[in-house]
Amino acid sequence: MAVTSFFRAEALTTESKTNVIRTAWDRLGGIPGGKLLFSRIIGRLAPYTGSIGAVVQELAPGYSRVTLADRKAVRNHLSCVHAIALANLVELTGSTALGYSLPDDARFIVAGLSLDYLKKARGTITAECQMPPIDSSTRQEYQVSVQLRDEAGEVVVEGTLQALVGPKQL
């Protein structure tokens, strides 16, 4: 399948017969500019998530690492990264790790999100999620932990996604 046909709007659906996140990353993650293109595709699937401009750096079964550059568009009035941009980063990081790990016949929805803001976030923020891969589309709830660190490596946010996994409705 040609790259252009894969990225048609109708192919960018969470109800396709394959795992769209895994397929897109596996095709793009290792090529020049591929991480940025993949991140933009995710932003097209989830436009609000795309609004922060984060870039997926690594993705593997049960693992995701995403960076968010500190810039005016994501700052608050205190010149630090806005709390909602950080929440969005937690959701993106946990969702990509979970989404990549799902079997082809499964889908998920975030049913809850909790965050502990530990200190002001300044500079580039790196988010990491590590979780066991999901091996079934059986309806089940998962807790997905994500940590956000600043450039000094200090944890600025600890977050947890509450995600409901279930079978696709094909």
Model-level pTM greater than 0.85? yes
- Mean pLDDT for 67-95 is 92
Query: Which residue has tokens 């059986």?
Result: 138
CA distances from 31 to 4, 5, 143 (A): 15, 18, 32
Q: What is the pLDDT of residue 5?
A: 44
Candidates 114, 166, 125, 113; CA nearest to 149 is 125
- Mean pLDDT for 69-73 is 89
Q: What is the pLDDT of residue 7?
A: 47
113 neighbors 160 (Cβ within 8 angstroms) = yes
Q: What is the pLDDT of residue 113?
A: 95
Percent share of the chain, pLDDT over 70: 90
Candidates 94, 85, 98, 160; CA nearest to 124 is 85
Cα(134)–Cα(80) distance, integer angstroms: 35
Structural domains in the chain, sorted by start:
3-167 (3.10.129.10)
